[in-house]
Every structure is written in C-alpha cells, then in structure tokens.
Amino acid sequence: MIFEGRILRLELEDGRWEIVRHADAVAVLARDEDGRVLGVWQQRPAIGTRTWELPAGLIDDGETPAQAAARELAEETRLAGTLTPLTRFYASPGFCDELVHLFVADDLRPEHGASPDEGEVVEIEWRDPASTWRDIASGALATSGVTVLGLHHALAGGALGLAEGADAQQP
C-alpha cells in the first residue's frame, strides 16, 4: 500500500500497476411527471469548478446499493421515490475499482427526515434532459460520467429498448 485516505487506498500491484481502491457508489436519475431530471450543484475542487450532477454518493458499510440510493436521494434532495435499478458499471477501470450503481427514481415525494452530510452545501435544480445534454456537449455545463449516462437513458432509454432493472446486478 502506498497511501490510505478517508475514501480511497492507493496500491502498487505486482510492482507495476497503481490501483486506486475506492468504495462503491450509487447515483440516482430522479424524474418528474414532465420528464425533467433533478441534479445537484456541487463544487468540485479536483476540476476547479461547479458541476451539475445526479444525486450520488458512497455506499456505507452494511448498506445495500438500493438503501444507499434512497439515502443519498433523501440527503441531497429531501425527496424519496420508487427506485428501480438501471445498471452498474466501473467508473474508471483503467486504474480504479469503484463500482457505480445507477438507479431511476419515479413517483417522487417529500422526505422530511433527511439532511445533507455535515459541511455539504446542496443546491438542486430540475432540468430538461435535451437542453442539459446540449449544454454538456457544448462545454457550457460541467458534469460527471454517471450523469451523462443517466441523461442518455432519460433521452433515449425507451428508444434503445433499455429495460430498467434488466440484469442490473451484473457489471
């Protein structure tokens, strides 16, 4: 082991491969009746700017991905909903083992018992998926890869025949 921090560990495997061991995560594509998607504005020091992203976070010890998705949705947006697993994927398998579970949330309702993590400033915004896609493509809006995947589903999921929850437990 080269380094161990709060959320990751850096290892040198076989004296050759630098591998980041990272906790698995969840992200939630929350949709309203008008087809808009809900995102969270976050300051991201690693890239030096604010991003608009799907609600997301790490899976805590003892939590299932679905429990973590419900918790993150509630903490970041104060909403709850019907969660359906969409897919899971490795965030950056060239150097990191983080597995991200993507869920869709529909039938949203207020969730009053949750609050953001300490020190976390949360600003949410509902957006139209098509205009958001254009803003990302033009460089006007910074975001994460999981958000791009979620927007892709919101825009084309039905047209591509992607069934929500279809084999979502396989990476």
Q: Where exactly are the structural domains of the chain?
A: 24-88+98-156
Place of tokens 């949330």: 105
Residue 118 is among the residues annotated as catalytic for this protein: yes
Distances (CA, A) of 167 to 112, 132, 138, 164: 32, 28, 33, 9
Between residues 143 and 162, which one has the greater pLDDT?
A: 143
Marked catalytic residue, from 118, 123, 125, 164: 118
pLDDT in tens, 44-62: 999 999 999 999 999 999 9
pLDDT in tens, 58-87: 999 999 999 999 999 999 999 999 999 999
User: Quick check: 114 pLDDT over 80?
Assistant: no
pLDDT in tens, 3-14: 898 888 899 888
- In the prediction, which pLDDT does 163 show? 52
Q: What is the side-by-side order of every strand in the sheet holding 8-13?
A: 3-4, 8-13, 17-22
3 state SS of 50: strand
24-88+98-156 folds as: Nucleoside Triphosphate Pyrophosphohydrolase (3.90.79)
Given a contact cutoff of 8 angstroms between Cβ atoms, the answer to whether 128 and 46 are in contact is no
Tell me the pLDDT band of 112, cut-offs 50, 70 and 90: confident
Instruction: Return mean pLDDT, the chain.
Output: 89
- In the prediction, which pLDDT does 104 show? 95
Under 8 Å CB-to-CB from 154, ≥6 apart: which residues?
29, 31, 35, 37, 129
DSSP H or E segment with residue 66 = helix 65-77
The C-alpha angle with vertex 98 and arms to 118 and 55, in degrees rounded to 5, equals 45
Query: pTM of the prediction?
Result: 0.87
DSSP H or E segment with residue 9 = strand 8-13
Tell me the pLDDT band of 116, cut-offs 50, 70 and 90: low
Task: Tell me what the mean pLDDT of segment 116-120 comes to.
Answer: 65
Strands 49-53 and 37-44, sheet pairing = antiparallel
Q: How distant is the alpha carbon of residue 95 from its chain centre?
A: 19
User: Quick check: 119 pLDDT over 70?
Assistant: no
